Structures are given as C-alpha cells and as structure tokens.
Amino acid sequence: MATIKLPPKQAYCPYSKFRVGAALLTLDHRVFTGCNVENACYNLGLCAERNAISKAVSEGYRAFKAIAITSDLSDHFISPCGGCRQFMREFGPNWDVYLSKPDGSYLKMTVDELLPVSFGPEDLSMSKVFNIPNEF
C-alpha cells in the first residue's frame, strides 16, 4: 500500500496545528480516508485513524487490509495514539499499519506489533472466575 505523502489540508487542528491523515484499505481494495478533527473540549477531538475506520464501518466494512498514517512530522515516523491502537484492534490484530514521514519513507507494522498482549472482542467470551451479583 503506497503511503500518503502529505497530511490532508482538510484536517481541522486549530489548537495543536498538527495535521494527521489516514488512508484505510479494505479487503476489496476500497480506500477510506480520514483526518484529525480537534475540538475546544480536547477529549472530543477525533484522530485521523478513527475517522477513516468509522467512515468504513458506516459503509458496512468490518475487515481491513492496511492503514497508512501521515503527519507533518519530519523527524519521526507518525505513530497512532493508544486509543487509536485499541480502536484498530477491535477489527483484528493482524492487519498492516504504515507509519510514514512526509518524504514518503515508512515503517510497516501490524496492529499486534503496535498493541501486543491486547484486549479484543474475543476476550469478552472468556470464562469468569467470580460471578459478582449486581448491587442494584
């Protein structure tokens, strides 16, 4: 998957001035893009990765081949935040994540490499040691 070389001009980042873009590739080779969207109430902001994945999910997609992430960082490869890593993990541990720089160079990793020993949907069916009654 070719990485995107520049973060999108559509990114809405008036507070951090840090533009981030993501391009998500589905198994049938459809691409969904996303950008970061900040908010004055900081925790309501949306990362580019979650934006792209949410767009795909809203169109009925649940399995992905890869995601490429780009930013204005020139000294480091852009890496997803912990929340985005968990959000990606929801859709499986074994798909590719391309961490890029504006010059087009990139590192290829998997979701599992970015979030080892992770918690996913399949863990919700694990056996419980204790049955705690509801206090209500």
Domain boundaries, the chain: 20-125
Question: Looking at residue 134, what is its pLDDT?
Answer: 64
Tens place of pLDDT for every residue, the chain, 136 residues? 555 556 678 999 999 999 999 999 999 999 999 999 999 999 999 999 999 999 999 999 999 999 999 998 888 999 999 999 999 999 999 999 999 998 889 999 999 999 999 999 998 886 666 666 665 5
Active site residues: 49
Which CATH code of 3.40.50.620, 3.40.1190.20, 3.10.28.10, 3.40.140.10 fits the domain covering 20-125?
3.40.140.10
Task: Report d(CA 95, CA 93) in Å as an integer.
Answer: 6
Residue type, 105: S
Question: Looking at residue 74, what is its pLDDT?
Answer: 86
Question: Looking at residue 108, what is its pLDDT?
Answer: 98
Q: Is 37 annotated as a binding residue?
A: yes
Burial class from Cβ neighbours inside 10 Å (0-12, 13-18, 19+) for residue 126 reads exposed
- For the beta carbon of residue 29, count every other beta carbon within 10 angstroms: 8
Parallel, antiparallel, or unpaired: how do β-strands 64-71 and 31-35 relate? unpaired
Question: Looking at residue 73, what is its pLDDT?
Answer: 83
Q: Is 36 annotated as a binding residue?
A: yes
Residue type, 91: F
Question: Looking at residue 135, what is its pLDDT?
Answer: 53
pTM of the prediction? 0.88
Question: Looking at residue 9, what is its pLDDT?
Answer: 85
Q: Is 13 annotated as a binding residue?
A: no
Q: Is 59 annotated as a binding residue?
A: no
Phi/psi at 88 (5° precision): -65, -40
